[in-house]
Amino acid sequence: MFGLIGHLTSLEHAQAVAEHLGYPEYADQGLDFWCSAPPQIVDDITVTSITGQVIEGKYVESCFLPEMLAARRIKAATRKVVNAMAHAQKHGINITALGGFSSIIFENFKLENIKQVRNIKLEFERFTTGNTHTAYVICRQVEQMAPKLGIDLAQATVAVCGATGDIGSAVCRWLDRRTDVGELLLIARDRDRLQNLQTELGRGKIMGLEEAMPLADVIVWVASMPKGVEISTDNLKKPSLIIDGGYPKNMATQIQHPEVHVLEGGIVEHSLDIDWKIMKIVNMQVPARQLFACFAESMLLEFEKLYTNFSWGRNQITIEKMDQIGQVSVKHGFKPLLLSI
Ligand code: NDP
């Protein structure tokens, strides 16, 4: 059995969907209440591969909210993640993806040091961040979508915001070695990490966001930001492709310009309907078929009976592992989400 640990995008979102998740009494509660709410299994899932194989899974709502980070409720945030992991393990789930901020909190607050949660000894090999599949899907979205918009990647400038992150660094490696894009712009806040990445790649220009925006034909957003930033289309190249891979979304603005194309990043579409309700609750456009690539990674590991933490630690995603997960993604019928133009 596979598992997905997820969370909602904001307190407002959580209050609005509490009833659908099965706990209507949470709907009018504030952040304090959500900080103390326990994890819950809110969905039983059945997925059929195009090979005909059928697997079962469960969705664990951790009750984490990004506002907990903004309000510096770090203890609450970390408790949400380890409690959700213990809950998944207690229910006998073999491989569980840590969705959205769960893996970021796990890494940033070194939760590998918390090995015991009440009577459960956490077995980390039962968990995956899902980031290898997410990075693979984002790269395929760049490769498949840019040419449709008349952007020649061999000549193009691609800006990666969140370049030093787990997903961002993997995306940079692939775009450098596989896609061989014209120019890479590396954006993040920590200068040392940016320089280390630049050294590893042997290329890439380190730049601020404002400076990079007008130069980029493609912008990949994979920064871990609790709230999105406002973008004005005035500063963007036309045409350009923006792939917003953050959860919550990195871009707060709804871009409305005929030559600026925004694609939801790290989202896959399955070839067959999935029997679940959770993607409707998180407002996925086609909830029976579309899902986060990190969640799909745990499904793929279950299909392949690869019970191992396939994506783990930070900045260790290799092109070979992206290839491996990409092949099984195609085999079982998942496709990167594209824009219909
Ligand atoms: P990491 O924490 O590993 O990396 C985050 C990156 O963002 C770092 O480079 C960090 O560098 C940068 N960053 C953070 N804040 C800012 C800022 N204000 N301005 C510029 N750069 C910033 O995160 P992951 O790679 O694990 O995840 C990245 C995003 O992808 C998250 O939003 C996550 O929720 C989402 N995600 C989506 C998935 C999907 O299936 N679609 C799956 C998993 C994650 P620095 O701190 O130096 O600025």
Q: Note the pLDDT of residue 42.
A: 95
Domain locations in the chain as residue ranges? 2-131+269-329, 136-266
Q: In angstroms, how far is CA 222 from the centroid of its own chain?
A: 8
Q: Note the pLDDT of residue 248.
A: 82
| Ligand 1 within 6 A of CB of 280 | no
Please say if the pLDDT value at position 31 is more than 90.
Answer: yes
- Both structure tokens of 37: 């709410």
Distances from the Cα of 96 to the Cα of 47, 59, 85, 326, angstroms: 15, 9, 8, 18
- What is the reported pTM? 0.96
Fold of 136-266: Rossmann fold (3.40.50)
Whole-number Å distance, alpha carbon 223 to ligand 1 midpoint, is: 3
Residue 58: how many CA atoms within 13 Å on its side-chain side? 19
| Ligand 1 within 6 A of CB of 294 | yes
Cα(195)–Cα(191) distance, integer angstroms: 6
To test the pocket of ligand 1, the residue of 133, 167, 291 to mutate (highest count of ligand atoms within 8 Å of its CB) is 167
Region for 249 from its dihedrals, namely left if φ exceeds 0, alpha if ψ lies in -120 to 50, beta otherwise: beta
pLDDT bin (cut points 50, 70, 90) of residue 189 is very high
| Ligand 1 within 6 A of CB of 103 | yes
Measured from the Cα of 296, ligand 1's closest atom is 40
Cα(190)–Cα(138) distance, integer angstroms: 23
Helices within 66-190 (DSSP H only): 67-70, 74-90, 102-108, 131-148, 166-174
| Ligand 1 within 6 A of CB of 101 | yes
pLDDT bin (cut points 50, 70, 90) of residue 204 is very high
Residue carrying structure tokens 């050294």: 199
| Ligand 1 within 6 A of CB of 168 | yes
To test the pocket of ligand 1, the residue of 129, 131, 171, 224 to mutate (highest count of ligand atoms within 8 Å of its CB) is 224
| Minimal-distance CA residue to ligand 1 atom 20 | 188
Q: Note the pLDDT of residue 312.
A: 96
Q: pLDDT by residue (tens digit) across 285-319?
A: 999 999 999 999 999 999 999 999 999 999 999 99
| Minimal-distance CA residue to ligand 1 atom 21 | 188
Whole-number Å distance, alpha carbon 28 to ligand 1 midpoint, is: 30
Whole-number Å distance, alpha carbon 131 to ligand 1 midpoint, is: 11
Buried residues in 121-153 as b, exposed as e (16+ CB within 10 A): ebeeebbbbbbbbbbbbbbbbbbebbeebebeb
Residue 326: how many CA atoms within 13 Å on its side-chain side? 17
Choice between 22 and 86, residue whose per-residue pLDDT is larger: 86
Please say if the pLDDT value at position 252 is more than 80.
Answer: no
| Ligand 1 within 6 A of CB of 66 | no
Cα(264)–Cα(9) distance, integer angstroms: 15
- Of 37, 2, 1, 4, which is closest to residue 291 (Cα–Cα)? 4
Whole-number Å distance, alpha carbon 186 to ligand 1 midpoint, is: 13
pLDDT bin (cut points 50, 70, 90) of residue 227 is confident
Using omega within 30 degrees of 0 as the cis cutoff, is the peptide bond preceding 239 cis?
Answer: yes
Q: Supply the Cα-derived Rg of the chain in whole angstroms.
A: 19
| Minimal-distance CA residue to ligand 1 atom 12 | 162
Whole-number Å distance, alpha carbon 290 to ligand 1 midpoint, is: 21
| Ligand 1 within 6 A of CB of 104 | yes
Whole-number Å distance, alpha carbon 168 to ligand 1 midpoint, is: 7
| Minimal-distance CA residue to ligand 1 atom 32 | 246
